[in-house]
Structure 1
Amino acid sequence: MTDKRFHLSWFMNFTPDEWREPFGNGGTPWDGEFYIEMAKMLDRACFDYIMIEDKLMVPEIYGGSRDLALKAAMIAPKHDPAPLAVAMGMATQHLGVIATMSTMAYPPFMLTRLSSTIDSLTKGRFGWNVVTSAEDLAAQNFNMDALPPREQRYAMADEYMEVVHKLFESWEPDAVVLDRENGVYADPSKVHTIDHKGEFFNVRGPLNTVPSPQGKPVFVQAGASPRGRDFAATHADSIVSVANGVEGMKAFRDDIRARAEKLGRNPDDIKVLFCITPTLGETEKEAREKYDRVMMSDNFVTDILVSMSGITEIDFAQFDLDKPLPEKLVTNGESGTLDKFQQWGSGKTLRELAADSGGGMVSSLELIGTPDQVAERMGEAMAEVGGDGFLVTTPTLRVSRRYVVEVTDGLVPALQKRGLMRTEYKHKLLRDNLREF
């Protein structure tokens, strides 16, 4: 019998929660307790992983100022995901924890060492979301005036990954012998320098951490452009994406699998998860009213445009909210995100594009209804796509405890009842759980 199950993960920010809403947590989650509780809930619900996004700057693109970004708490404040990943991983039993870390910000040795350490602390459940950063404001925090062009960033990232793999492999899997009788902790003949001398990086090695439970963390990526898809198909264990409906989801997954096969990889080793923002209610009418209420809120459009300006480095405050964008926009920032957002040629106003970005463009398909209705739609969509699963998030990436409960205690049981989601974990390591089906 064909396994109908698919993977379910969560995408979040280490930012204030839904601090303006009645069921928010007050906007002060900095001790991590709110997100640790959330991780425990996802662990009980048998999610594969929780992924923590990151940016390395305070945005000041929208309106030419950082004022609105800080007032709305969009993109900033944002705390470092790596310590939170450790805290969440050590508080859970099975859930994978994914931290976003930029190849621009970390020297390869430091990132490899940090990843190895966290994988050991979480007993083999750590993953790295590989990003190159796409904001000049971030580059200016790291001794640069501006980011290199996109193609050069990918060339640097390719070599960066080469170095990372060499460092992880600088200790052979059985290098630690723990021979107490002869006083030998590690066999020196099984620890090697890498002596990498490349175009962008010179790294001697070896790594000074022992091999972690997974050997290497799970690699997650979100490449959307053709170059980005090649990078993801080369390196990723899991790819996260936003697609336009079932046809777009299937086309993207088929394309990634074809690229992986051409590169000599087993496509089944790469799990493609599509972003969704389900809106749940006790009735379909209630869910629809909730959705419309969010989309029409006074703060929503500004929140989305502040975020989109920070990500794409285009000031959307310069355009009329109630008119279509006057031209097709280009950027050296996140071009894939920009292309999805602007929907050039659709005739939609900027206000409508913002609503789409929150309610539709962050979600690969519309999911509004009761838990049973949404679960049924998810199952039908995944059957057409062929796999591999979904990445739950919210329109502005802010989250409330209420929303988490709606998903873990409402949607998840509806999925499990249909045989669409695991009811228990079979493996200890994150990579093994991802490859289970």
Structure 2
Amino acid sequence: MPSPRRMHLAAFMNAGPQGTVGWRHPDAGDGFLTAAHYADLARLLEDACFDLAFIPDALSVPRSLGGTFDPAVRWGTGTPRLDPMPVISIMAAATRHLGVAATISTGYQEPFNVARSMATLDHLVGGRAGWNVVTSFQDAEAQNFNQDALPPREARYERAEEFLEVTTRLWDSWSDDALVRDKASGVFGRPEDVQALDHVGRYFKVQGPLGVPRTPQGYPVIIQAGASPAGRDFASRWADVIFSSQESLESAVAFATDIRQRAASAGRDPEQVKILTAATTVVGTDRADALARHEAFVQLVEPEAGLSRLAYHVNVDLTQYDLDGPLPPLEEVGVEGHYREVVEFAEREQLSIREIGRWYGARTEGDMIGSASEIADTMEQWMDAGACDGFMIQATHVPAAFQDFAAAVVPELQRRGRLRTQYEGATLRENLGLARPERGEWRHRAASALPTRAATDQEA
């Protein structure tokens, strides 16, 4: 009988207050402005054998609800957010095995800066760095960077495409053995093994080479969460890890199947694209106890707080609609995956916009509410159905919800042979089961190197 397929675990955690009202929970810590808070969380996750900690980010205080940042500040939705790079550096310094990933937007950075920062971090932490690539989805972000509004989705992905090509070429500008460091001869490196880029494109002009040698992982692990057709095309070619947010097992299976087909069409091994789906866990002694804990959390949510979070995610001012009526179809949204989740759930439950707000403020993705055994059962069901390669665990509040998961669910998964009991690899790639990219791997991922685009469908 074959061994059960092991799952990968990542922790989805803000560099700031957790979720919509996580800060209100009686067991929530209030140290998100301190280094010790993140170092302690990192050690907790490493003791539980998580693959990585993943920090989302945004470059604005949300103004999506009513055109003002008042709701975001009043309810603590989407703000404040610390710069994730110093935060993950602290987390990496506190651990030996845990991978750390930061979100950086291709919309408001330069490839050279990102390539340099990520390569430096990957060296300093021994090959445990990851980059969550986003194209940004908020007009408020654009307005912090000399723009009046967010560029169209097509333009954002076009810029991101060139950004990734330039960044990976910069990581490849040194060969793995370019450094000699021969004290006797005085030869430090081989110039013939270092290459300039001389890139001239639509968005970027970069001479190169990078001033940082090739990293332990070749490329830091690339993470992406594209849910629109353009986003899925981009993610299936570039990403090593894809973060999926789904309302049901059926939609999760459909997403994973689509991504694997796109990866294969782009010439990649689908097994080298790891899909981690969101799972908000609420652990109790049994399901009744877990449901009572969740209901107590729901009661902390003011509908406006949930609507503030939803408006931020879809980049649409929901106050323009009747809040006691149904959510109308939205043509252009920020985060496609979250919007599809909302539509699926709201139509099934016949919710008004106001009711959606309360639900969204305390939503638990993946129906992971129950005893440790019940949560493990659900995780196994999703894994065995082909919905994912593991889970992005989202805590309702920190550190207590992560502590509950680590103390109860992790041992149950390990008992079933679904989760490692110790780290096997030295790098994040090795622990995720990902191959180290050879120099020049960018040619196999860039759209410019493909005869045709991997995706032919239109934007939904």
TM-score with structure 1 length normalisation?
Answer: 0.94
Is 1:290 the equivalent of 2:293? yes
Map of 2:28 onto structure 1: 24
Report 1:311-350 matches (<5 A).
311-325=313-327, 327-331=328-332, 333-343=334-344, 345-346=347-348, 347-350=350-353
1:392 aligns with 2:396: no
Q: Separation in 2 of the partners of 1:367 and 1:332?
A: 27
- SS of the counterpart of 2:96? coil
Match of 1:194, SS state, is coil
Residues 202-238 of structure 1: per-residue CA shift (max 9 Å, x gap): 1000000122211210000001011110100000000
Aligned to 1:408: 406
CA distance in 2, matches of 1:324, 1:52: 33
- Once the two structures are TM-superposed, the CA of residue 281 in structure 1 deviates from its matched residue by 0.8
Q: CA offset at residue 387 of structure 1? A: 4.0
Tell me, yes or no, if the aligned pair for 1:247 and 1:385 is still in contact at 8 Å.
no
Question: How much has 1:283 moved relative to structure 2?
Answer: 2.3
Structure 2 residue matching 1:322: 3-state secondary structure: coil
In structure 1, distance between residues paired with 2:101 and 2:228? 22
2: CA distance between counterparts of 1:265 and 1:67? 46
Cα distance in structure 2, aligned partners of 1:313 and 1:128: 23
Question: Which of 231, 237, 241 in structure 2 is aligned with 1:238?
Answer: 241
2:368 aligns with: 367
Taking only aligned residues, the RMSD between alpha carbons, in angstroms, comes to: 1.8
Shift of the alpha carbon at 1:295?
Answer: 2.0
2:10 corresponds to: 9
Which one of 53, 61, 64 corresponds to residue 64 of structure 2?
Answer: 61
Q: Structure 2 vs 1, CA of residues 45 and 255 (structure 1 numbering), >3 Å: closer, same or farther? A: same
Q: Distance in 2 between matches of 1:130 and 1:113?
A: 15
How far residue 358 of structure 1 moved from its aligned partner, in angstroms, is 4.4
The 2-side partners of 1:143 and 1:386 are apart by 41
Q: Is residue 150–residue 332 contact of structure 1 (8 Å, CA) maintained in 2? A: no
> What corresponds to 2:423 in structure 1?
425
**1:366-389 Cα distance to aligned partner (Å, 9 max, x none):** 111111111122112211226401
Identity %: 38
How many residues align? The count is: 429
Which residue does 1:204 correspond to in 2? 207
Distance 2:258 2:315 in 1: 28
- Name the CA distance, whole Å, in 2 between partners of 1:436 and 1:5: 14
SS in 2 for 1:274: strand
* Unpaired segments ≥5 residues, structure 1: none
Q: Which residue of 194, 215, 220 maps to 1:217?
A: 220
Deviations 1:239-271 (A, max 9, x none): 001123222221111111111111111111110
Q: Name the CA distance, whole Å, in 2 between partners of 1:147 and 1:315.
A: 15
The 1-side partners of 2:38 and 2:354 are apart by 31
Distance (Å, rounded) in 2 between the aligned partners of 1:368 and 1:207: 47
Deviation at 1:415?
A: 0.9
Which amino acid is 2:311 matched to?
S
Q: Is the 8 A contact 2:180 2:188 kept in 1?
A: yes
After TM superposition, the score normalised by the length of structure 2 is 0.89
